[in-house]
Amino acid sequence: MQNDHELVGCEGATGMRVSIGCRIRYEFSQPTPLIAMLNVHYSHFRNLELVDYLVSLPSVPLKSYRDGFGNWCTRLLAPAGEFCISTDGIFRDDGLPDPVTQGAQQHQVEDLPSNTLVFLQGSRYCDTDLMSDEAWRLFKDTAPGWPRVQAICDFVHNHVDFDYMQAKSTRTASQTLIERHGVCRDFAHLAITLCRCMNIPARYCTGYLSDIGEPLPHPVGDFAAWIEVFLSGEWHVFDPRNNKPKFARILIARGRDAVDVPLTQTFGLSSLKEFKVWTDELH
């Protein structure tokens, strides 16, 4: 990652207003249960100038709950035919890039808080049992703490080619290591797995990631995946896909890996007709 002073700030460092939202349109052959995880994470609720309520068309009853990781989920029964869910909000961001804490230290496993231990274990897409030997071969000589995590992200960023056409919902971290291509979730899963193999708690994050501060043209909007690692008593953001600090990174959900945080999950056959995501700076 670069140092903060190497990046051009947005609106100085006085903050910015960002229009965020999504629209997802389906076609269902019969009434179908659906769970959506599309709202900004509760830890950032105070930053919402306009709350990103979930809206359905046609309107149906919505029931909300928190999952085991504290993420806000909405369940509903989608009717047969065309059905659309959307959110639209305004987020007040601090206008600063992701923080960099070069001196953050790695904990001994016996000193870790108990609630971080689940993020040391293998999970559906993070197959630590297959990756441990390779992780130690690659990173045993790196300095523990922030430098080791950065070395892992550098490796993943350089080893894997980003390619939307190579997206595959079943790809694990070990398969990404071998196949050397994927999308942001694959970058995240590989980095998480390597961190866990090196006894560093790491968790999967999904949310909005703007192209604010990036040169035009910008790619079509999408949700993004990144990681958080536990160093020096707190969680720190790393992004193996982009591998540099970014502006307006807005969290929706966290979990062990992508299986814990599906943006939408349908319990029946469906056809996706439209998928649109936006993160636009408001002047």
Per-residue pLDDT at 25 exceeds 90: yes
Q: Is the pLDDT score of 6 beyond 80?
A: no
**pLDDT given at position 14:** 63
Listed in sequence order, the residues at least 6 apart from 68 whose beta carbon sits closer than 8 Å to its beta carbon are none
- The CA–CA distances, whole Å, from 78 to 31, 66, 83, 239 equal 5, 20, 7, 35
pLDDT of 205 higher than 60:
yes
Statement to judge: residues 179 and 214 lie in one domain? yes
> What was the pLDDT predicted at 97?
93
Average pLDDT score over residue span 38-48 = 95
Whether 187 is covered by a domain: the verdict is: yes
Name the pLDDT band for 264 (thresholds 50, 70, 90).
very high
User: If you average pLDDT over residues 168-188, what whole number do you get?
Assistant: 96
| Residue of 19, 4, 23 whose CA lies nearest to 96 | 4
pLDDT (mean) for 221-242: 96
pLDDT beyond 70 at 57: yes
The CATH number covering residue 78 comes to 2.60.40.2250
Residue 151 has pLDDT above 50, yes or no: yes
Which helix (H) or strand (E) element contains residue 193? helix 184-197
SS3 96: coil
List the CATH number of the domain containing 186: 3.10.620.30
Amino acid (1-letter code) at residue 181: H
Q: Are both 217 and 251 inside the same structural domain?
A: yes
Same domain, 174 and 268: no
- Asked whether the beta carbons of 38 and 22 are under 8 A apart, the reply is yes
Residues 66 and 45: beta-carbon distance below 8 Å: no
Residues 119 and 195 in one domain: yes
Query: pLDDT band at residue 1, thresholds of 50, 70 and 90?
Result: very low
Nearest to 257 by CA among 193, 195, 182: 193
Is the pLDDT score of 188 beyond 60? yes
Domain range spanning residue 38? 16-95+264-282
The mean pLDDT of 22-29, rounded to a whole number, is 97
Tell whether 116 is covered by a domain.
yes
Q: Answer whether residue 60 is part of any domain.
A: yes
Same domain, 141 and 243: yes
pLDDT: which is higher, 259 or 2: 259
- The pLDDT score that the predictor gives to residue 2 is 34
What average pLDDT is seen over the chain?
Answer: 93
**What confidence category does residue 8 fall into, taking pLDDT thresholds of 50, 70 and 90?**
very low
Residue 190 has a pLDDT of: 98
Region 9-19: mean pLDDT is: 67
Whether residues 54 and 127 fall in one domain: no
For residue 142, pLDDT over 70 is answered with yes
| Mean pLDDT, range 224-234, rounded to an integer | 98
